[in-house]
Structure 1
Amino acid sequence: MNIFKSINNNAQSSTTTGFGSSASSYGGRFINKDGSANIEKRGLSFFGRISWYHTLVNMPGWKFLGIIFLFYTIINFIFALLYYSIGVENLNGIGTTGSEWVKFGKAYFFSAQTFTTVGYGHISPTGVITSAVAATEALTGLLSFAIATGLFYGRFSRPKAHLIFSHNALISPYKGGKAIMMRVASHKNTNLLDAEVRVTLGIVVEENSIPVNKFYQLPLEMSKISSMSLSWTLVHPIDENSPLHGFTEEDFRLIEGEFILYVKAFDDLYSNTVAISTSYTFDEVVYGAKFEMMYDENDDQSKTILYLDKINNFRKVELP
């Protein structure tokens, strides 16, 4: 059963989020933890709604390398079948002795040498048909490696915000009251400057007996910093102007809501602005907790140590 909460009248809702207002038409969260939209697109064919470049550039490295290896294996298997079907006797130097599996294996490795344009020379095609297949395979190999090289370059050169976020958002003590807090840190050896963050609250409320999505921009204690050298705790004070004013621990347990984070910064290596997003649903909010420090000075007090494995560490505390 949906539970609704009256929002503080001092809070002004936003209509520029890009999300719809019909709560009954939405399923699950708005933004996934990895920053992608929680949307499944239908209505077009699979190939009509898939950008292969974006898919291959954005997928995990092990999947990308697996696809490259699988394509290489399959394409050589196909050409080896063609050579074997034409007849291995048309491959000069391959030899006609041995089992059929041995002959096919030799055809496969000749295909690999042709595809990569290595061409060791001890096997060569004879006859028009075999030579035409070998020429086609060589061209296919050149084009395939050109595409693979472009994809590798796209993956390595693509500007990316190397930031990690805490698993939970916390309701913590703040200046005699309460605040919602989330933590972010740079986890690579990058230099991010002029970092800026925007936090949007999405919540399901009832208007005229109809559940609707409402969105509120949450003002932060600091929305911009000059450098992302250390961790950054994002703080939204829950005062009389906050849409969260009057929320209890039970409200966070029962109400459908989500905090959507957008972070952008300038990466001086890429000389470009990088951006990343994530979200916290209300069931990922810990009520009555405080983040523990995740950086300290080293033994000789000559350097600051940032402990990235402590980004999720917090302790329970009493709230006022």
Structure 2
Amino acid sequence: MARGLRKRIRQKNSENSGFGTNASGRFIKKDGLPNVERKGVNIFNRFSWYHTMLNLSTFQFLSYLVTAYILVNLFFALIYYVIGVEHLTGIDKSDPLNEFIDVFFFSSQTFTTVGYGRIAPVGFMASLVATFEAFLGLLTFAIATGLFYGRFSRPRAYLKFSDIAVIAPFQDVTGLMFRLAPFKNNALTNADVVVSTAIEVSENGETKTNFYTLKTHLSHINTLALNWTVVHKIDENSPFFGFTKDDFYNTPIEIIVHVRAFDEVFSNTVVQRASYVSKEIVYGVKFVPMYYPAKNKEFTLLDLDKINDYMAVDMPNIVEEV
């Protein structure tokens, strides 16, 4: 950032952001999680596997389960095959491929404790492996059941944020705007938003990041049923006061958003985060409406496909007073 531009930032640096001045890169990833990598502990202590599995998308979660199930059964099928198919009754011994297929399905039946009975272990080693596999299967399915329950029962905000933030006219000046909307039929009330910004500045030849709290036009709404356009007025109290279009595009900026609401179904508070960096801020446009009355006038349609739609507007000619 140019020295003259730094002097225009009049707001006091905020110290409660949770990020220090030496942090770098994007602070909040697009999925809302902090962009932080930890070191100094081994990988087993670095990650909470339970949280990781709960935060996966449905497709990723199911893909991991199916892949793990196939790999485990292939592993045990290989063990049975090494022990010898003669220690399993009912095996089709017409060729090696049929033998391995039968051993694989015997493993899957043992792992799930189904046990149809056509194939059974004979001898100590085969019976020992089958016993351990059945025990492991019981534990694995108990864990998988807990993960399924955790994913279904965990309260979530289910908010969709616009991919961009815009700079548009607002109350005779300009405003930084983004919008969000619930995309499921959950009932959210008493929604609050806290917005801050990280601006990279140069002071005494050193580059550091300063954080500023952005005051919003509305920071609380009683019911979050439609979309909510959050607006930060860019006036003399804003850290962006005096910023030009080039300043927004060329200055390393990140807008950090924290939304908290109450879910009436779960009777619990839900939280969701988002962020916007300089390349995701569009200057001189405004969002177009994304909800409208139904044809029969009996309900309102919220079109989530339009959450990123915008149109160009004429920007006010604002000259900063010296």
* TM range, smaller chain: over 0.9
**Residues 178-257 of structure 1: pairs in structure 2 closer than 5 A:** 178-257=174-253
Give the distance between the partners of 2:205 and 2:178, measured in 1 at CA. 33
Look up the match of 1:19.
19
CA distance in 2, matches of 1:100, 1:237: 74
Determine which of 40, 47, 50 is the counterpart of 1:43.
Answer: 40
Q: Does 1:58 align with 2:18?
A: no
- Within 2, Cα distance between the matches of 1:266 and 1:190? 10
In the alignment, structure 1 residue 162 sits paired with structure 2 residue 158:
yes
The residue number in structure 2 matching 1:153 is 149
Residue in 2 that maps onto 1:268:
264
Counterpart-to-counterpart distance in 1, 2:42 and 2:2 = 38
The one of 275, 280, 286 aligned to 2:276: 280
**1:315 maps to which of 302, 311, 317:** 311
Offset of 1:148 from its aligned partner? Answer: 0.9
User: In structure 1, the residue corresponding to 2:47 is in which secondary structure?
Assistant: coil
Query: Normalised by the size of structure 1, how large is the TM-score?
Result: 0.94
AA aligned to 1:267 is D
The amino acid across from 2:85 in the alignment is: V
AA aligned opposite 2:19: F
Q: Work out whether residues 183 and 232 of structure 1, in 8 Å CA contact, stay in contact via their aligned partners in 2.
A: yes
Q: Say which SS state the counterpart of residue 43 (structure 2) adopts.
A: coil
Write the mapping of 1:50-129 to structure 2, written as runs, cut at 5 A: 50-95=47-92, 97-129=93-125
Q: Is the 8 A contact 1:7 1:244 kept in 2?
A: no
CA distance in 2, matches of 1:183, 1:267: 19
What letter corresponds to residue 89 of structure 2 in structure 1? Answer: N
Give the deviation of 1:42 after TM superposition. 2.7
5 Å-filtered alignment, 1:138-149, equals 138-149=134-145
Question: SS at 1:94's partner residue?
Answer: coil
Return the alpha-carbon distance in structure 2 between the equivalents of residues 113 and 182 of structure 1. 53
The answer (yes or no) to whether the contact 2:54–2:151 under 8 Å persists in 1 is: yes
Residue type of the alignment partner of 1:42: K
2:172 paired residue number:
176
Q: CA deviation at 1:16?
A: 0.7
How does 1:28-39 map onto structure 2 within 5 Å? 28-39=25-36
Instruction: Tell me which moved more, 72-81 or 176-185.
Output: 72-81
3-state SS, counterpart of residue 157 of structure 2: coil
TM-score w.r.t. length of structure 2:
0.93
Cα RMSD for the two superposed structures: 1.6
- What amino acid is aligned across from residue 47 of structure 1 in structure 2? F
Q: Is the 8 A contact 2:2 2:202 kept in 1?
A: no
For 2:287, the aligned partner's letter is F
Give the letter aligned to residue 75 of structure 2. Answer: I
Q: Are the structure 2 counterparts of residues 89 and 203 from structure 1 closer, same or farther at C-alpha, using a change threshold of 3 Å?
A: same
Letter in 1 for 2:96: E
TM-superposed CA distance for 1:244, in Å, is 1.1
**1:89 is aligned with what amino acid?**
E
Instruction: Flag the 1:7–1:227 CA change in 2: closer, same or farther, 3 A.
Output: farther
Mapped contact 1:184–1:232 kept (Cα < 8 A): yes
CA distance in 1, matches of 2:94, 2:2: 76
Superposed CA deviations along residues 69-113 of structure 1, whole A, max 9, x for unmatched, are: 122112212222222222222222325x31122122211111111
Counterpart of 1:49, as a letter, is: R
Which 5+ residue runs of structure 2 have no aligned equivalent? 317-322
Report deviation, 1:182.
0.9
Aligned ranges for residues 126-137 of structure 1 at < 5 Å? Answer: 126-137=122-133
Q: Which amino acid aligns with 1:110?
A: F
d(CA) in 2 for partners of 1:228 and 1:116? 44
Deviation of residue 12 (structure 1)?
A: 2.1
Q: Which amino acid aligns with 1:33?
A: K
Moved more, 55-64 or 110-119: 55-64
The percentage of counterpart residues that share the same residue type is 47
CA positional deviation for 1:208: 2.9
Deviations 1:186-220 (A, max 9, x none): 11111111000000011012333322211111111
Give the conservation status (yes or no) of the 8 Å contact 1:258–1:279: yes
> CA separation in 2, counterparts of 1:12 and 1:131?
72
1:218-270 superposed Cα distances (whole Å, 9 cap, x missing partner): 11110000011111011111111111111111111221111110001011111
